[in-house]
Copies of this chain bind each other. A is one copy, B any other.
Amino acid sequence: MKFKRFPMNKEVQSHQQTQMVKRSALQDMLVEASRPGVLSFALGLPAPELFPTSEYARAIDHVLSTKTQALQYGPPFQPLKEQITKLMTLRGVECKPEQVFLTSGAQQGISLLAQLLLHSGRQVIVEELAYTGFQQVLESYEPEIISVPTNIETGMEVDVVQRLLEQGARPAFIYTVTDGHNPLAVSMSNVKRIHLMEVAKRYCVPIIEDDPYGFIYYHDKLNPPLRAIDDQWVFYVGSFSKILAPALRVGWIIAPEAYITHLPNIKEASDINTSTLNQYAISHYLDSGHLTTHLQTLRDEYRIRRDAMLSALDRHFPRASRWHKPTSGIFIWVELPKGIDTVEALKISLETERIAFIPGQAFCVNNDCQASHCMRLNFSNSSVAGIEDGIPRLARVLTR
């Protein structure tokens, strides 16, 4: 526990230790899950065969042969910021290049924002089940985590948020994934978005809106994110990881103007700057106009995989299981009959079928969350054949 920044009281320590033990047992399994030969529905990986590899290779080649500063340290690339503002209009967001802050991926975006807004011991409002990478960010600050439930069809229970604030909660921020929720795959209803913004503004609480999946939708366009409703309290976090490729490590924050000048210092302290080469290459790729077609390819192909998984679940999973058809993102959240322990099931699944998924428990932000009978399945990183082979085998493990 050496790396904690803050002297801990016994209670916190013991909770933290439980969390860490739980997580490291899980991490061991996830190492298992990444071994060759394992069919994995575990991680939130995009499909590598869909990466626009040759277009990106051409972009890098162009940049390296024309820009002498491409391999140098460099300031944020202004044309890329402008292109991001254009991209954001596809999400219904109007913003200015001055509000765009470039990061080394969305994870760094969240990490920098925690540094900006949070200090040890403060409160944070977050859903009971939340992205593990966000939980890792929180760990070193040891905030008081106030969790709110999520309705599987309409998203975060904003009424509960309102009640907490009325009762005196004063969080450093509220964290939410409004679309393609990780792990619940739900999109927040429009009514709730408007309500959440009303409440946040009334109580002056910033919101970190994590939106890695907002361009990956399967039916109509998604509702505009919170950032489209308000530009004073929302820190929107976007990324090229899911729409281009994760290895570029480029993402962005759209920050309220009052805060934008605070970000460069924190960013420089973290890693000086985002790779100049990748900024230039992404900008060149975007200039080529290929992204629109590429996004459509992703949506079409991921929709096919999602439907294959939904159909296989329908045919093979235990009767009393429940899931919802996600309208965006890359996950399906499955609630199995109570009594099935998915941590146990993962162990057996890896041993007998060499199939991996993430047990619901991994996403719990505190100990009273009930997800030990749940699992998160990823469909973007498996072929239809893999899904049709894997889901019945996984079902066998669950019904043994």
- Chain A residues with CB under 8 Å of chain B are 2-7, 34, 43, 45-46, 48-49, 51, 53-54, 56-57, 60-61, 64-65, 68-75, 104-105, 107-108, 111, 115-120, 133, 136-137, 139-141, 241, 245-249, 259, 262, 265-266, 268-272, 274-278
Is B136 within 8 A of A74, CB to CB? no
Across the interface, A68 reaches (CB within 8 A) one of B48, B69, B75, B259, namely B48
Report whether B276 and A247 are in contact in the complex, using a CB–CB cutoff of 8 Å: yes
- In the complex, residue of chain B having the shortest beta-carbon distance to the beta carbon of A72: B48
A262 with B45: in contact, given A120-B120, A269-B136 (CB under 8 Å)? Answer: no
Do A5 and B104 touch across chains, with their CB atoms under 8 A apart?
no
Known: A247-B276, A276-B247. A116 touches B49 (CB 8 A): no
Q: What are 13 A-B contacts with C-beta separation under 8 Å? A: A3-B266, A5-B118, A46-B72, A51-B72, A72-B246, A73-B241, A107-B268, A108-B271, A111-B269, A137-B269, A140-B266, A140-B269, A270-B270
Decide: A275 and B275 in contact? CB cutoff 8 A: yes
Asked if A262 and B72 make an inter-chain contact with CB atoms under 8 angstroms apart, the answer reads no
Contact between chains at B136 and A265 (CB < 8 Å): yes
Taking a contact as CB atoms under 8 Å apart, the answer to whether B45 and A73 are in contact is: yes
- What are the residues of chain B within 8 A of A278 when measuring CB–CB? 247, 275
A75's partner among B34, B48, B104, B259 (CB-CB below 8 A) is B34
Find out whether the CB atom of B247 lies under 8 angstroms from the CB atom of A74: yes
**Chain B residues with CB below 8 A from A249, complex form:** 104, 249, 271, 274-275
Cβ contact within 8 Å between A120 and B6: yes
**Are A262 and B115 in contact, CB atoms less than 8 angstroms apart?**
no
Min CB distance A396 to B, Å, is 29
- B residues within 8 A CB of A56? 64, 71
Residues of chain B lying within 8 A (CB to CB) of residue A276: 246-247
Q: Which residues of B contact A266 (CB under 8 A)?
A: 3, 140
Contacts of A107 in B (CB 8 A): 268-272
Return A6 CB to nearest CB of chain B, in Å.
Answer: 6
Indicate if the CB atoms of A71 and B271 lie closer than 8 Å.
Answer: no
Using CB atoms, name the residue of chain B closest to A43.
B73
Flag if B73 contacts A246 (CB, 8 Å): yes
Q: How far apart are A163's CB and chain B's nearest CB, in angstroms?
A: 26
Closest B residue to A3 using CB positions: B116
Report chain B residues within 8 Å CB of A74. 247
A259 to chain B, nearest CB (A): 8
Write the chain B residue with the least CB distance to A276.
Answer: B247
Tell me the complex Cα distance, A105–B269, Å.
11
Determine whether the beta carbon of A246 is less than 8 Å from that of B71: yes
Whether B269 contacts A248 by the Cβ 8 Å rule is no
CA distance A174 to B56 in the complex (A): 43
Contacts of A65 in B (CB 8 A): 57
Identify the interface centre among A46, A70, A249: most chain B CB within 10 Å of its CB: A249
**Contact indicator A247/B70 (Cβ below 8 Å):** yes
Contact B61 A57 (CB under 8 A): yes
Contacts A6-B120, A104-B249, A270-B111 hold; do A71 and B53 have CB atoms under 8 A apart?
A: yes
Chain B's closest residue to A279 (CB) is: B247
Query: Do residues B245 and A72 form an inter-chain contact, with CB atoms below 8 A?
Result: yes
Identify the interface centre among A46, A105, A271: most chain B CB within 10 Å of its CB. A271
Nearest opposing residue in chain B for A5, CB measure: B119
User: Which of chain B's residues has its CB closest to A51's CB?
Assistant: B71
